[in-house]
Structure 1
């Protein structure tokens, strides 16, 4: 077999082998995927190192700032040891506030938390329950989280330190209210590329400062920082979660503002504040993207040249392939038996000419088979849905249609009526005239019922034995009773002799009528039960009559 193989440039097989081989050789030679991966990894590691350094520098800056502010208050406390009158207290606090722009104001609170003296009206009321005040009473200098003061209408951070008397006992607490903007400016001290920024969270995940880009956007929109900070929480922030667990976060992540970033963190202020530094992934990987773009450009150029060659080849097979494609679409659309014209493929390769010939043969076979299948399917569907004796719908088909009609009536909130029909004293009829005559009687009754319903939506089915059901969608009780009387009358007109009936000398029927407006969650069997009870009542009342079920009234 292999010995008879010859290279023939006129065949599609050979041409495709040459084209694909050329493309594979070119793309393999120009694929620098390992190099690109290494560059991406190096750039990422470099950015993570820079983020780690920035976080470290920022921590040193914040620690120094906290130490300086604590020293400021310690120095101020040393000037408050000697007894002074109220005005002197106020003068000292005012002078200190003016000389230290980071502070919004100062206050002195007694051990009960009442503000004795204050400057700049930074806070109102008592501070007894504040954690920073409680720690100061125990002799510790404490820095609070960020909170909003109604008197100054600004966010502030409180530094609380104890004031001791000559005996070394804590007599009062000095409160320094630090302007939040000072902390924000401190967090913006380091520039980290174009998108890098640092911000603070407390140990509960709430922002103490906002990222630079949200601050600039908010300032441009004129919205206040109070509404922003009070609504922001970073409890689900990936770095915050890792920081609480004491772990590092390796890959990039989406931060709380929908930006894909790389980040690092460090705790400061005795583990109460979390410094987070982030930088957009796109900026970090920009050199990598640049190198990748150049590489892809080179590969694309070579591939384009290869494509020109493949395009040259494809022109020779485009017409027959298009004809095959159109033929396939025609068959998919149901136009079985479609034939490809010979003119469109005459100049093509011999493989495609042969393929088109096979396609035409298969198309004719498909058309014949589809026609045969359709005829068989129609016959099978008709047989499976029809009662053999009566030629009306059987019980299985009734169950399908009944569920569909019930669901439709439920959605539309239309009245839905069901008639349960039974041939009176049919067992006696069989005993008297024989089963063959009984089958003929059932067939004639079914024919009368089928031809008595007027609407195409009405549905007649054999329910079992001598029982039938009629479905009347969008029909109220009055209409259903009218249809029932018409059915009963039509059966009487048949004048089928029934000498063993105690109702009449001919075949009669009894009908139970039930009508409901189906409600959501109501079982479909409810209507069948009502109709069956009405049929039982019709028999109890003497047969050859139409009786409506005793159910709640149904509005038409």
Structure 2
């Protein structure tokens, strides 16, 4: 495919100008994106670990609170206290103060059979808790924390209304007497909303959030986006215990939740769909002591926003400089290539035979006249003048030579080699000898057609292939009108540089009269010899 020098110059200018930006796009940007990805994931993991540690610390403090209550020497007799006892109301006030100062939803003490003996106003007495997990574990001597579960008794919710099924959790521990015998269980009802506040205490970005998840994949704390989830019908009242963390596209647990509830700690820097169907980056950590998972996520687009912005800046930069570069490249390429293109056009015209073409050096820009392009143009003109002069001299010599050939009485010809070869040039004498009115009429006819015996053509070719020349070869020929006559010729074969035959040159004359005289002389000689005998 032909590409002009102007286009070459333009392309080179564009290439070398855009190369640094392309390198930035191809080499630097991926490296920056990779480094940014590492930094973002490191920060996300730090946040996730801090939130997990915050939850663990908070839970340890809650367990410490229940242990402090159980260790109070006045509490051991509370397992069998009644409203008639004078210490009953003091015990209630003590529990009320604990609930108020430390942010619990309620507190109560049961005997070793599971009957609640003393409780804060929210809880009430007389209930049987013997079938609950927190009682069963505590009565066996363990300090135990339940998961977040729906309440079985009416509790005041965030709307200041009583609600059964409100998310709640319990922390319990055994109550012992002075003989270290378990006489009951101390239980605190934890304010689950505090857990949600803990998870939302650390803000990162517009979409980042940390939440707790249980073994079944349900959210244990409020989502940062509960309002949006209500609008789309994913939850009715709250995220806690209502929101199962599934991918809307597959209906299965999200990739982060699935690995977390399997007890695996990990992260995903490539992105996966969260419970809202948004591609997020995430880190997760499983807390086996509570059977909870702590998951920290942020939208991928926001996290990698800086990298995406850099890419957009690079693209915008490419587009903004592309037009001026193209314009400058075009103008520069046009300036430097115009004389060369002019030389190209003039060369084509000269190749077609017009040797009068010249480059107008005066039309070139002044700086170009003195540089290599100006020298090239001047040298080209000199070459063209010399070539034109030589061609005229050659044409004049050829014309004189043709006139000489045409003035000769002998026929001169050139033809193709081979049995089927044709005449490529003949002089006037040759055309007249064979009965043609002009050389042009004979040129192009087959050479073998001039022989009466066409084997003479083969004999001539074999002789020429062997010796290169055959002098005084006599053959019986025929004219255009069929008239037969004798010719005598001298022919030689011409080869190219590789030794292949390219043409045959020859000279011939009509020797019919001479042949008749020779025949008559032979007859006369025979008659004389017969008379002598």
CA contact (8 A) 2:10 2:330 kept: no
2:50 to 44, 48, 57: 57
Find the counterpart in structure 2 of residue 248 from structure 1: 266
CA contact (8 A) 2:212 2:295 kept: yes
Find the counterpart in structure 2 of residue 191 from structure 1: 203
State how far apart, in whole Å, the 1-side matches of 2:76 and 2:236 are: 38
CA contact (8 A) 1:265 1:276 kept: yes
Kindly state the Cα deviation for residue 202 of structure 1 after the two structures are TM-superposed. Answer: 1.7
Is residue 291 of structure 2 the alignment partner of residue 272 of structure 1? yes
Q: Taking structure 2 as the reference length, what is the TM-score of the superposition?
A: 0.50
CA distance 1:68–1:29, change in 2 (3 Å): closer
1:151 to 142, 149, 154: 154
1:232 to 240, 243, 246: 243
- Aligned residue runs from structure 1 range 50-449, under 5 A: 50-79=43-72, 80-82=75-77, 84-86=81-83, 87-88=88-89, 89-100=91-102, 102-122=103-123, 125-149=127-151, 150-152=153-155, 153=163, 154-212=166-224, 214-215=225-226, 217=228, 226-234=237-245, 236-243=253-260, 244=262, 246-250=264-268, 251-268=270-287, 270=289, 272-305=291-324
- Aligned residue runs from structure 1 range 392-541, under 5 A: none
CA contact (8 A) 2:145 2:290 kept: no
State how far apart, in whole Å, the 1-side matches of 2:124 and 2:272 are: 40
State how far apart, in whole Å, the 2-side matches of 1:221 and 1:122 are: 36
CA contact (8 A) 2:265 2:286 kept: no
Deviations 1:8-62 (A, max 9, x none): 68xxxx86x7766665555444212211111111111111111111122222222
CA distance 1:275–1:223, change in 2 (3 Å): closer
Q: Taking structure 1 as the reference length, what is the TM-score of the superposition?
A: 0.48
Kindly state the Cα deviation for residue 186 of structure 1 after the two structures are TM-superposed. Answer: 1.4
CA distance 1:7–1:227, change in 2 (3 Å): closer
Kindly state the Cα deviation for residue 222 of structure 1 after the two structures are TM-superposed. Answer: 13
CA distance 1:307–1:93, change in 2 (3 Å): same
State how far apart, in whole Å, the 2-side matches of 1:8 and 1:283 are: 48
CA distance 1:35–1:271, change in 2 (3 Å): farther
After superposing the two structures, state which structure 1 stretch, 74-83 or 25-34, moved more: 25-34
After superposing the two structures, state which structure 1 stretch, 110-119 or 155-164, moved more: 110-119
State how far apart, in whole Å, the 2-side matches of 1:75 and 1:142 are: 14
Find the counterpart in structure 2 of residue 363 from structure 1: none
CA distance 1:112–1:18, change in 2 (3 Å): farther
SS at match of 1:133: helix
State how far apart, in whole Å, the 1-side matches of 2:304 and 2:2 are: 52
CA contact (8 A) 1:183 1:209 kept: yes
CA contact (8 A) 2:283 2:296 kept: yes
Q: Which runs of 5+ in 1 are unaligned?
A: 313-556
State how far apart, in whole Å, the 2-side matches of 1:164 and 1:217 are: 49
Kindly state the Cα deviation for residue 296 of structure 1 after the two structures are TM-superposed. Answer: 1.1
Kindly state the Cα deviation for residue 104 of structure 1 after the two structures are TM-superposed. Answer: 0.6
Deviations 1:265-295 (A, max 9, x none): 2233615111111122222212212222221
Q: Which runs of 5+ in 2 are unaligned?
A: 156-162, 247-252, 332-533
Deviations 1:113-132 (A, max 9, x none): 33333223348953333222
Kindly state the Cα deviation for residue 201 of structure 1 after the two structures are TM-superposed. Answer: 0.9
Deviations 1:80-118 (A, max 9, x none): 024654333333322322222x20111223334333332
State how far apart, in whole Å, the 1-side matches of 2:4 and 2:227 are: 70
- The count of aligned residue pairs is 301
CA distance 1:29–1:91, change in 2 (3 Å): closer
State how far apart, in whole Å, the 1-side matches of 2:265 and 2:97 are: 46
State how far apart, in whole Å, the 2-side matches of 1:82 and 1:116 are: 10
Deviations 1:238-287 (A, max 9, x none): 12222325252332211111222211122336151111111222222122
Kindly state the Cα deviation for residue 170 of structure 1 after the two structures are TM-superposed. Answer: 1.8
State how far apart, in whole Å, the 2-side matches of 1:287 and 1:98 are: 46
Q: CA RMSD in A?
A: 3.4
State how far apart, in whole Å, the 1-side matches of 2:45 and 2:68 are: 34
State how far apart, in whole Å, the 1-side matches of 2:263 and 2:53 are: 23
SS at match of 2:206: coil
